[in-house]
Amino acid sequence: MPEAPALSAKDVSFSHGPRTVVKNLSLDLYPGRHYILAGPNGAGKSTVLDLLTKLKKPDSGEILLDGRPLASFKAPELAKSIALAPQSSNFGFAFTVREVVRLGRKPHQGPFGRLGPGDERAVEEAIEKLHLGHLADKSVTGLSGGEAQRVVLARTLAQDTPIILLDEPTGSLDVAQALDFMETLRDLAQNGRLVVTVSHDLTLAATYAGQIVFMADGRLVAAGTREETLTPELLARVFEAEASVRRDDFTGGLTVSFRRRAQGRGGGPDLPDTARPETDRPNADRPGASQTVTN
């Protein structure tokens, strides 16, 4: 029997005022996989997460959760299936770190809002995974940006849902913390969870994604494995810059390099000539940027 997707978007569109932010999106997301949703600013990535969690309602099309219309789920029921880690970490009150992480257990609370031993265990495990033990009794108002983001991520893990959606979860983390957290997400996917991460970091995408989903201008451009999506032609199309993908001798992985397109070549749908060596291309001395990707 074919595997069924956990989440599906069926020809979904969404607009902010006169601007269409998501355009006719159709995408199936399967359990046991880690998807990284990537693309330039304004591509619609964060809006897709809001649509998948019912924070926004599609103008047209339909979203299904385990084959059932997402619109039919009440908030308490949905919170047992999907956890969302937003970019922002505005807590509002001077809770302690442990109290904020406990909020992740709210969908599972028993009568009178009590937490059982299993709930407390989930909270402590999430605190440990995000290395927050020394901050557990500290007020969140005194945390740094990176520490506050780790609290948000711990709360999301404590919710213990089969589907985890994350919006730029490593943006405020240092290198070691980001790598450690991405390892945690990969482990969760390998143990059957569906994980969807919005990220601009192609290094992390190529290292940890089971599947990469590229969006641009509100549309799905491509979805597939790292090998299928990390190609010069596709990267150039998505990011509107010349791209090169090559093997890095130091890491044994891939180096993804970008530079702005040569004048006169335009920024439309035409793809640059990435087949020629760098030294054979016009304006090869133009400044650029590179990311080293280990896979």
**Pair (172, 191) in one structural domain:** yes
Asked if residues 253 and 202 have their Cβ atoms less than 8 Å apart, the reply is no
Which residue range forms the structural domain that includes residue 64? 1-81+161-225
**Pair (74, 165) in one structural domain:** yes
pLDDT in tens, 99-111: 999 999 999 887 7
Among 160, 180, 196, identify where a domain stops.
160
**The pairing of beta strand 163-167 with beta strand 82-85:** parallel
**Pair (77, 1) in one structural domain:** yes
52-61, 200-209, 223-232: least confidently modelled range: 200-209
Q: What is the pLDDT of residue 287?
A: 44
CATH code where residue 193 lies: 3.40.50.300
**Pair (19, 75) in one structural domain:** yes
Quote the mean pLDDT of the chain: 87
Among 201, 225, 249, identify where a domain stops.
225
82-91, 130-139, 254-263: least confidently modelled range: 254-263
**Pair (93, 76) in one structural domain:** no
Residue with the larger pLDDT of the pair 254 and 40 = 40
Q: What is the pLDDT of residue 91?
A: 84
**Pair (54, 108) in one structural domain:** no
pLDDT in tens, 186-195: 999 999 999 9
Mean pLDDT: which of 60-74, 197-211, 261-275 is highest? 60-74
**Pair (56, 1) in one structural domain:** yes
**Pair (43, 142) in one structural domain:** no
Q: What is the mean pLDDT of residues 125-143?
A: 95
**Pair (151, 111) in one structural domain:** yes
**Pair (14, 75) in one structural domain:** yes
Q: How far is CA 46 from CA 23, 151, 221, in A?
A: 14, 20, 16
Q: What is the mean pLDDT of residues 266-294?
A: 41
The identity of residue 162, as a single letter, is P
**Pair (115, 2) in one structural domain:** no
12-21, 51-60, 113-122, 269-278: least confidently modelled range: 269-278
Q: How far is CA 86 from CA 90, 91, 112, 171, 179, in A?
A: 10, 12, 28, 11, 19
**Pair (39, 54) in one structural domain:** yes
Q: What is the pLDDT of residue 8?
A: 98
Among 160, 183, 199, identify where a domain stops.
160
**The pairing of beta strand 163-167 with beta strand 194-198:** parallel
Q: Model-level pTM?
A: 0.85
The answer on pLDDT for 278 being more than 70 is no
